[in-house]
Chain A
Amino acid sequence: MPIDLEKMTIKDAREGLVAREFSATELAEAYLAAASEKDPEIHAYVEVFDDVKAQAKKADELIAEKKDDAPALAGIPIAMKDNILLKGRLASAGSKMLENYRAPYDSGVTVKLRDAGAVFLGRTNMDEFAMGSSTESSVYGATKNPHDVKRVPGGSSGGSAAAVASGTALAALGSDTGGSIRQPASFCGVVGLKPSYGAVSRSGLMAMASSLDQIGPFTKTVEDAEILFQALRGHDPLDSTSLPETRLQEKKEGKDRYTIGVPEKFLEQGVENDVLENFRENLKKLEQAGHTVREVSLPHIAYALSTYYIIMPAEVSSNLARYDGVKFGLSFDGADLSGMYKKTRAEGFGPEVRRRIMLGTYVLSAGYYDAFYTKALMVRKKITEDFENAFQNVDVIATPTTPSPAFLLGEKSGDPLAMYAQDIFTVPANIAGLPALSLPCGFVEREGKNLPLGLHLTAPFLREDVLFSVGKEF
């Protein structure tokens, strides 16, 4: 069987590898060749590893020995976002602060993937410390959208999305704090999943906002996203917010047809006309497939973005205090200890990171804590309850993933609020800890180019199975 990277899925690759139609080495070589041909233009990778063939050779030995019983991802080439640790390799989070940081241990998901036989292709570009929606703020420069290189791939996991979309990785991992997997998946025309909070280990993921962060997969198909999710999920004693196995293993009753809720009022939030039109057509398609579509009320969801832009920077300001020039990373000398901190953090962090640290410090400072942080926690509770109430009547909630298709490079980089508005449909799932999926659902034309759109589905806590069922037949 010839290796067709354009169409290759994890499922196809598994079949081809086990049937010995091609070897893991041949598959890895095909991706390395694709990366060296396409990536100079797209810039999805900040590093392609130099030992990919050696990893693939090990996978070939494993497949030769175990055949059908080889672990699920034996020989599957996967790219990793640059904020997920692989022992002994550089991990920079797209920041000057960590340009030369070498991971002293493996992340929880790295261990899972390695045990499942995966081949790590390289690390992918991202907005600095995962703060952004365009992958323009990386110290390594911007990643381009494979559908139109004048446009952004979305962010912050833009490199992972662009790698899968341009066929330079079979699948990739990203992290999602407010939409950083789903929004780039939408912009690049691939599938992106943010799992339920606590379903996948965050150990060895550089913390941005710990109550919101989750790791998840980018794939070409929903079926592949399910395969990767199954490989990634599980309790990890090294992540204190990781759910116990008993909770993760609870039996779920699936349905044949589902009721899909649409928060009509929420859709009035600045969605471009043809994007909304596409969304309506997709709802019809779901109805034609036998699902029921009905309106659902989420009274506080319009406040999700405000809530997010208080809680997230608060946690950012606390989490990023560790970058002080003492224990690891960049270090600049100063007149005294405080001077050294200030100089190091001024040189090491880019403008958006500094802005969020300052903002977070403000909302947590005495005098403003109650007016901002406490209030945001209260609204967070209300939003979570809105979802719980809505899921009494519907199985899954649908919106567009983003209000517009991919925007132009530089278009929003000078306007933080315009960039933040990108997250309007994706942040609620992080606020409430729910699983959510973006899947490709058509195209709109901008300046002569067809740009992909995403359909965004949110399910009740730990009901990834509902997302996969609805998504697979879409």
Chain B
Amino acid sequence: MNIKEIEKLAELSKIDLSEEEKQSLLKEIDSILSYVSDVQKVAGEKTVPIPGPHFNILREDSDPYPPEMFTKAILENAPHTKDGFVKVKKIL
């Protein structure tokens, strides 16, 4: 790995890193990856195991909750709200 890759990972992870932390993460992630890479030796060539029989565990998409039943409880934890909505920064 190199510092460019660490910066790309930080971008994908949406985490600001200091220069110092980039350096220490480079060292640590490198050593962890070299430790865990031994799975490659024993994994074999077969593809990923296919999951067993599966069935729907979700409820039927009917009988919705009445509007606003949980709105207040959920919004109480939101850092920024406006008129019963979560407020976000401008995207476009």
Closest chain B residue, CB of each to CB of A385: B49
**Distance to closest chain B CB from A381 (angstroms):** 4
**Distance to closest chain B CB from A90 (angstroms):** 11
Residue A142 is within 8 A (CB to CB) of chain B in the complex: no
Question: How many chain A residues touch B (Cβ–Cβ < 8 Å)?
Answer: 54
Q: Is the CB of A338 within 8 A of B14?
A: yes
Residues in chain B near residue A359, CB distance under 8 A: 29, 32-33
Residue B4 is within 8 A (CB to CB) of chain A in the complex: no
Q: Which residues of B23-52 are within 8 A (CB) of A? A: 25, 28-29, 31-33, 35-40, 42-44, 46-49
**Distance to closest chain A CB from B55 (angstroms):** 10
In the complex, which of the residues A375, A382, A417 contacts B31, with contact meaning CB atoms closer than 8 Å? A417
In the complex, which of the residues B13, B31, B74, B89 contacts A340, with contact meaning CB atoms closer than 8 Å? B89
In the complex, which of the residues B6, B46, B70, B77 contacts A329, with contact meaning CB atoms closer than 8 Å? B77
Residues in chain B near residue A371, CB distance under 8 A: 37, 40
Task: Give Cα distance in the complex from A470 to B67, angstroms.
Answer: 52
Residue A374 is within 8 A (CB to CB) of chain B in the complex: yes
**Distance to closest chain A CB from B88 (angstroms):** 6
Q: Is the CB of B49 within 8 A of A381?
A: yes
Q: Which residues of A322-343 are within 8 A (CB) of B? A: 324-331, 334, 336-338, 340-343
Residue of B37, B47, B88, B89 with most partner-chain A CB within 10 A: B89
Task: Give Cα distance in the complex from A101 to B74, angstroms.
Answer: 11
Known: A327-B78, A355-B28. A375 touches B15 (CB 8 A): no
Residue B79 is within 8 A (CB to CB) of chain A in the complex: yes
Task: Give Cα distance in the complex from A310 to B12, angstroms.
Answer: 17
Interface string of B7-24 (1 = CB under 8 A from A): 001101111110001000
In the complex, which of the residues A300, A317, A336 contacts B89, with contact meaning CB atoms closer than 8 Å? A336
Residue A140 is within 8 A (CB to CB) of chain B in the complex: no
Known: A326-B78, A372-B39. A378 touches B46 (CB 8 A): yes
Q: Is the CB of A375 within 8 A of B78?
A: no
Interface string of A363-379 (1 = CB under 8 A from B): 00100000110111111
Interface size class of B (residues with CB under 8 A): 35 or more
Closest chain B residue, CB of each to CB of A364: B12
Q: Is the CB of A104 within 8 A of B49?
A: no
Known: A342-B16, A355-B25, A377-B49. A362 touches B33 (CB 8 A): yes
Residue B82 is within 8 A (CB to CB) of chain A in the complex: no
Known: A346-B15, A357-B13, A378-B49. A372 touches B77 (CB 8 A): no
Residue B76 is within 8 A (CB to CB) of chain A in the complex: yes
Closest chain B residue, CB of each to CB of A353: B15
Residue A361 is within 8 A (CB to CB) of chain B in the complex: yes
Q: Is the CB of B39 within 8 A of A342?
A: no
In the complex, which of the residues B15, B78, B91 contacts A354, with contact meaning CB atoms closer than 8 Å? B15
Residues in chain A near residue B77, CB distance under 8 A: 101-102, 104, 327-329
Closest chain B residue, CB of each to CB of A304: B39
**Distance to closest chain B CB from A380 (angstroms):** 8
In the complex, which of the residues B10, B39, B49, B78 contacts A307, with contact meaning CB atoms closer than 8 Å? B39
Task: Give Cα distance in the complex from A443 to B13, angstroms.
Answer: 43
**Distance to closest chain B CB from A211 (angstroms):** 11
In the complex, which of the residues A361, A377, A379 contacts B13, with contact meaning CB atoms closer than 8 Å? A361
Q: Which residues of A89-129 are within 8 A (CB) of B? A: 101-102, 104-105
Closest chain B residue, CB of each to CB of A331: B79
Closest chain B residue, CB of each to CB of A323: B14
Residues in chain A near residue B48, CB distance under 8 A: 374, 377-378
Q: Is the CB of A362 within 8 A of B42?
A: no
Q: Is the CB of A379 within 8 A of B25?
A: no
Residues in chain B near residue A310, CB distance under 8 A: 36, 39
Known: A104-B74, A104-B76, A359-B32. A375 touches B86 (CB 8 A): no
Closest chain B residue, CB of each to CB of A370: B48
Residues in chain B near residue A329, CB distance under 8 A: 77, 79
**Distance to closest chain A CB from B75 (angstroms):** 9
Task: Give Cα distance in the complex from A340 to B15, angstroms.
Answer: 10
Residues in chain A near residue B91, CB distance under 8 A: 337
Q: Is the CB of B14 within 8 A of A341?
A: yes
Which 5 pairs from chain A and chain B are nearest by CB? A331-B79, A328-B77, A346-B16, A375-B43, A378-B43
- 14 new A-B contacts, CB < 8 A, other than A306-B35, A309-B32, A336-B89, are A102-B76, A306-B39, A307-B39, A326-B86, A342-B10, A354-B13, A355-B29, A365-B9, A365-B12, A372-B33, A374-B47, A375-B39, A375-B43, A378-B43
Selected A-B contacts with CB under 8 Å, 9 pairs: A300-B42, A306-B35, A327-B74, A329-B77, A336-B89, A354-B13, A359-B33, A361-B12, A378-B48
